[in-house]
A and B are shown apart, each in its own frame.
Chain A
Amino acid sequence: SAVISQKPSRDICQRGTSLTIQCQVDSQVTMMFWYRQQPGQSLTLIATANQGSEATYESGFVIDKFPISRPNLTFSTLTVSNMSPEDSSIYLCSVGQRIEAFFGQGTRLTVV
């Protein structure tokens, strides 16, 4: 199993600003995954973060908007840049996809 500490748990931000979300895992993992969950919707994968290489982004998501860092095997950050109200969502980090995925508590972002 894995325990993921994600912060902040929620934030209200002004449009045009950026927010960095942090995830700390209690064990070393090769891949970390970042998801977005819009209100009442399913989870959509933003990108996969590997230590020592650039993140791999899914269709519809770009590095300039969602830069990701992965400095070591237990930590990753996702930045939501130049925010607009459409970015209001829950953002979740996750590890361990193949057998059982573990999730952070999520960051509930509201952009005003």
Chain B
Amino acid sequence: GQQVMQIPQYQHVQEGEDFTTYCNSSTTLSNIQWYKQRPGGHPVFLIQLVKSGEVKKQKRLTFQFGEAKKNSSLHITATQTTDVGTYFCAGPGFGNEKLTFGTGTRLTIIP
């Protein structure tokens, strides 16, 4: 079945440093979605990317979708304490409504 891996599993950064998480799917995705889960919370949607090679920005967050639509990345510039949480990528396969979630990257910030 479809597998979605993320690296790193954990990332500890000083406040103000940058952060990147990488997502790789074993199969081609129709789109890639990113979610943030705060400690004790539920996943919250951040963004969806659909086109091959697409890049989207949300303030300090930059999202990329790979050319082959099998990988993606999330980059946060100048992290803040509010960025703490676990970031998941997720994607449905083609012709499939179900989301497969990545393994997640847990970000902690050192003030």
The answer, among A41, A59, A101, A105, for a CB contact under 8 Å with B99, is: A101
Given contacts A48-B98, A59-B1, contact A100 B48 (CB under 8 A): yes
Q: Tell me the number of A-to-B contacts counted with CB atoms below 8 Å.
A: 47
Complexed CA–CA distance, A102 and B92 (Å): 15
Complexed CA–CA distance, A33 and B42 (Å): 14
Binds B, one of A14-22, A65-73, A91-99: A91-99
Given contacts A59-B1, A98-B97, contact A42 B102 (CB under 8 A): yes
A97 close to B92 (CB less than 8 A): yes
Residue in B closest to A104 when the chains form the complex, CB atoms: B42
Q: How far is the CB of A40 from chain B (nearest CB, A)?
A: 8
Using CB atoms and an 8 Å cutoff, list the residues of chain A in contact with chain B: 31, 33, 41-45, 48, 59, 92, 94, 97-106
Using CB atoms and an 8 Å cutoff, list the residues of chain B in contact with chain A: 1, 31, 33, 35, 42-45, 48, 88, 90, 92, 97-104
